Structure formats: structure tokens, C-alpha cells
Structure 1
């Protein structure tokens, strides 16, 4: 059976995009690989902006089908949209915009990716956790933990107001410093490629050693310092690269209405990381 070919770019080609403070290549490579594999008349391009209202207005005015939203725009974009899907409304954080004939709806596919990964790796809901971070991604992860049945949790955040708001809103504790727990979750940029803390561990080695499960939502690089050290200690690890694939797949479905096969998703993810 012949492989479908994406039609040549023309006036009917649908554009999807991303907005991030520091754009990467993963989304563009993942989505464009699947458009080619499935013969879809779409194209995807990453952008950044210093004028968020104008950028969101451009999505509406130009008929851009969808837009992935990353730091630092996940909360700031909300007043510029026409409505929120339940996944975004529940946590006041958007990572995906879908444009239906000029009606812009915010979704959160990060939230949707967390519970399946916890189940996949067999993390029991009774496991106490410490989650470090309280930004837009923090909202998605901590809310997903709550909704997956995790009852014993601590949110660690330097911003006390944001940390308390997130922790107490989800029924957890806030504290300023990291402590030991069987499940450690990094939701900060610590360990992110190109960042000022790219070589740092999000948790001290003694806390990694004492934990059973390590979950780092940073997806670039795929093996962060935290993930590498946890593997060396033979811990169960969940990576941000896995989150990135699941959330991008859900975005793809929202934009196109098409569900790729597992083999197509695996090939697109490998291409995106290459």
C-alpha cells in the first residue's frame, strides 16, 4: 500500500502553529511528520511574540486552525479567547487553542496526558508526592494528580501566593523547600535545555535516592539531569518527553479530527526528537 503524500501547499492548506517564549522544534517536527504520513493538507510552524493580543488576534483573523501555547502565555491568553473547554476551565491554564470559524476555544492537553502516564507506570494513587512548581504547567500536573485520586501531596514553590493558591485549591499543602516523598515531580524549568539551570538537579540527590518514582515534565532534553540521575539509581521514571508526545497527539486530534496509529505516533515522536 502506497504512503499518502501531503498535498502541495496552496490556498486551502490549513495552518497550525505554536506560541512560546522560547520556541522549540518538537511540535513542528511531530505534527508535520504526521501530516505527511497521513496525506493531510496542513502545515505547522513555531513562533514567539512580544505582543500576545495581536498574535491571538492573528489566529482569529487569518483562520489559523490551531495554536499550541507554552510558557509564559498559558494563563495570559485566557482573556483573549471566546471560551474554555473543561480541561482548561478546571485549572485556568491553556496549552492549546482551537479555531472554529473565528471562535477560539482554549484546551489543556497537558492535563489530559498526566493520568495515563501515572497508570502506565503503575504509580498507586495512595503514593504521597512532592511537586515542585506552580506555573501554568504546574496547574495542569497538580490538578491531574488530584483528579487521578492522589490525596497526599505537597506543592513546593518560591512564589508563596501562587504556591498556596494552587496547593489549597487542590486540597494539598504548600511549603517553600523540597522534602522527601515517594513520588517527586519537577514542574519547573530546572534542567531545561538552553536555560540557566540546564545542568542542575530539580531535587537533591538524597531525596532522589529516597524516592520510588521520579516524574520530570521538562521535555528538552529528553534525558534531563534529574532523569539521568534517577535512572542511575534504578528509580521508576516518567519523562517530559512522554508527556510531550501524548499532549501533542491530543492537539493533533483536536486540529485535524484524525487519530494516527500507534506506529505512526511512534515514528513521528522519533522524528521529532531526531
Structure 2
């Protein structure tokens, strides 16, 4: 790293809070080094109240861009000049590209989700999906899946949760802007939750359930809700095997994925936006998968 840093090094950031545990610097800096690119990726503890100052600094310092994570994905939108279509539909951003002072916001989380499935030779085009959660991960997953041809999405969120209105918005946008049929259910309605999962091709949990301090919890504890030929996808990847994945194993589900592939692929999409180059994904996967302590 020291040998690569000089007066021409281009800075890219990650603005979120808390964020010091992130695997993104490892991923991007190793990719820069592998390709011989004179970039450096650093994380910055910036919460919602500081996001305007962070974006001002991005412009002032001439940074190439930044990733954005919680709690800033929606709060950053008013300070940007342009948004790509997915960001317009989701109302959130996880990647900023600075083109000579013009800041464009992108959302690569949903792209990462779909690419992670494709990497496993899994195609959910024309299929039925059940999704729990409508937050920073769930929203772009739902929108991107609908844009990419998923036929039906049943979204579950607790009606007394702060994301309920966001879930309603997601369903409305999907039905208005795509060919996908979306429905919203209250996660407290366990009978509907069970029936929808039993009849779906893929179940995705986009909530924080299963991640510390909720690592011993799962929204689905009964293996009989699952069937062998479906996909179970948990966006959590620390721990590597969540409680949900363990339940899916008991049901002999053939395709069980954690969020590590999604994390790498959303990063690869951002990497290309900044550099114009393809991230050496196989090389990065080996580094990240071998890092058993990797968190976000």
C-alpha cells in the first residue's frame, strides 16, 4: 500500500456509522493493487447529521467518489446532482461517482444480489420471491429484482415498524413501474408468511435478524416452511452461517446463500463505476472468503 501512495493517488471513501469493521477497504484496495491502479479506499465514520459536510468534503478534495451505508443512504440524496434509475425508484444511494464536480448517485445493492445468484447459476426471472424487510438492503433488492424480471414479490414487514411506509412505497413503485406483481403483508401475520414462503421459489431475509446481537434469532424457525427446490438467501454474512441458514439446512434446501457474495458483487459494480475496470472478483473472493473474521 505504501509503495502505491503518491501525489497522484485518487481517493475513494466509505461514509457510514459505525463502519470501522467494514471489509470494503480490504476488497477495494486489494483490487486496486492487483490491477495496478493508483487509488486508495478509506472509511469515514460519518452519521446522518454530518453527511452534508462529508459530501462537501468529497467535492472539495476532488475524491473520485464514495460508498454510502447506513444511516446515510437516504439522507445523502438531496446533496447529489443526479440519480440513476434504481436510486430514483428506491430513494436511496450506496455509491457516489464524482465526475469533475458533478455527483451522481447509484444503488448497486440490488445488482449485487442478482449477480450473487447468477454466480451460483441461479435464475429467478419469472419466479416468485418472498422478501422480509424493506430497509437499506430490502428496498434495492426488491426494486432490482422487479426490474430484472422476477414475476411476483411478496414483501413482509411489521406494520408497527418504521419501515412499513417504505414497504408500502416499494410495492406501489414495483406495481407502477415494472411488470412484476408486488404485495405487502404484515410480518406479524405468521400464517400468511408461512403460506407465501411455501409457495415461493426464493426466500430472502434482508433484515438484521441473524447478525450480532441477534445472531441466535431467525424469522423462520420451522424447517417445514421450506422445500428442497427453493433458494434461501440471507443478506447477513457475519456469522457465515446464520440461524436461518441452519433451519434451511434442516429442510434440505438445495441452494442456501449468505450475503458475502452480494457484498462482493455490489462492490464490484461500484468499482467499475469509479475505475471503468472490472474488479478481479475471483481474486477478491479468495481473500474475503478466507477472512473468517470478516464483518461488514
TM-score tier by shorter-chain length is 0.7 to 0.9
- Aligned to 1:184, the other structure's residue is in SS state strand
Report how far residue 149 of structure 1 moved. 2.0
Is 1:169 aligned to residue 188 of structure 2?
no
CA distance change for structure 1 residues 20 and 245 in 2, over 3 Å: closer, same or farther? same
Deviations 1:190-240 (A, max 9, x none): 112x3x323211323246534722111123333322223323433112321
Secondary structure of 1:170's match?
A: helix
Q: How many residues align?
A: 268
Counterpart contact for 2:215–2:239, Cα < 8 Å? no
Whole-angstrom distance in 2 between the partners of 1:169 and 1:15: 35
1:112-146: CA deviation from partner (whole Å, max 9, x where unpaired): 22333344443443433221111132211001221
TM-score w.r.t. length of structure 1: 0.87
Check conservation: 2:12, 2:65, Cα contact below 8 A: yes
Runs (4 or more) in structure 1 with deviation over 6 Å come to none
Please state if 1:224 is matched with 2:220: no
**Any idea what SS the aligned residue of 2:155 has?**
strand
User: Aligned pair 1:21/2:38, yes or no?
Assistant: no
1:1-274 paired onto structure 2 within 5 Å: 7-23=3-19, 24-50=21-47, 51-119=50-118, 120-158=120-158, 159=161, 160-171=164-175, 172-177=182-187, 178=190, 179-180=193-194, 181=197, 182=200, 183-192=202-211, 194=212, 196-206=213-223, 208-210=225-227, 212-235=230-253, 236-270=255-289
Pair 118,229 (structure 1): closer, same or farther in 2 beyond 3 Å: same
Q: Gaps spanning 5+ residues in structure 2: where?
A: 176-181
Cα pair distance change 1:122/1:34, threshold 3 Å? closer
Cα distance, 1:36 vs structure 2: 1.8
Cα gap change, 1:155/1:22 in structure 2, threshold over 3 Å: closer, same or farther?
A: same
264-273 or 148-157: bigger deviation: 264-273
- Superposed CA RMSD in Å reads 2.3
Instruction: Tell me the TM-score normalized by structure 2.
Output: 0.81
